[in-house]
Amino acid sequence: MTTEQPIITNPAREKLKRGEAVTGLAVFESLRPSIYKIVAQVGYDIVLVDTEHVIHNFDTLTDFLVGSRDNGLTPIVSVVAPDRALVSRALDAGALGIVLSHADTPDQATDLVRWMKYPPAGERGLAPGANAGYTTEDVSRYCREANNSSLVILKIESRMGIENAEAMMSIDGVDGIVFGPGDLAADMGLHGQWEHPEVLAAMESVIEVALARGIAVEPPIMPDSEGYRRELQRGCLIFGAMRTSEYALFREAALNAIAPYL
């Protein structure tokens, strides 16, 4: 007797649904095989491709997303708006999740889910390609699995987003909450003060709601080992280097490498 293999899976979402923590790393410019290979080798679950601040060649983006999936990662893409052209095309290119930057209102969260889910859960258009592993054997099963696998994440980075966080989390289909502390601090008139008590308190107010609702959320500050255990114990599940970039990480590594010679 053979077991039917799924057409599409999302390893990170499966871990979150089991209550297990996930780690992610953000990539801005370097959509190369070396990146997703190393990210997978060192143990990350998610690779986040930024399209808020960077414009990507669509062929290159598709290659990167497919390669990431083939290496056991969950590739997700950040978008600037819950627009069909941005959301559906990123998913069709192979993304297994979307991060909506500057998520501010319940209407935005509703639109994000609409364009991420196939009917009847949403209005995503069907075009099996990279998203379906280039197979059309069972379209009905694929659509069902895709709806169950897509990772819907809201990125809160404004006072409006903080105020509307609970209403946005009430939208069916929202899986996780992350933060943009830099933009949040700026919106609060605290430019550059990402760890100001008022900024941390604003994020904490959202975290409390997310934990109460059972929605995956990241801590206000990415912790050290001791802090990780503490944040994990209280229920935070999203960690890693998703608030930085690969060139910031490269700069840090380069500075460490040259330090003995300075």
In sequence order, the β-bridge partners of residue 75 are 47
Across the beta sheet with 74-79, the strand order is 216-217, 176-179, 151-156, 97-100, 74-79, 46-50, 22-27, 238-241
- C-alpha to C-alpha distances, 252 to 33, 169, 241, nearest whole angstrom: 21, 35, 13
Nearest-angstrom CA–CA distance, 77 and 88: 11
Which sequence positions are flagged as catalytic? 53
Nearest-angstrom CA–CA distance, 88 and 83: 8
Nearest-angstrom CA–CA distance, 212 and 206: 10
Instruction: DSSP letter for 259, please.
Output: G
**Read out DSSP for 152-186?**
EEEEE-SHHHHHTHHHHHTSTT--EEEE-HHHHHH
Give the helix/strand (H/E) hosting 49.
Answer: strand 46-50
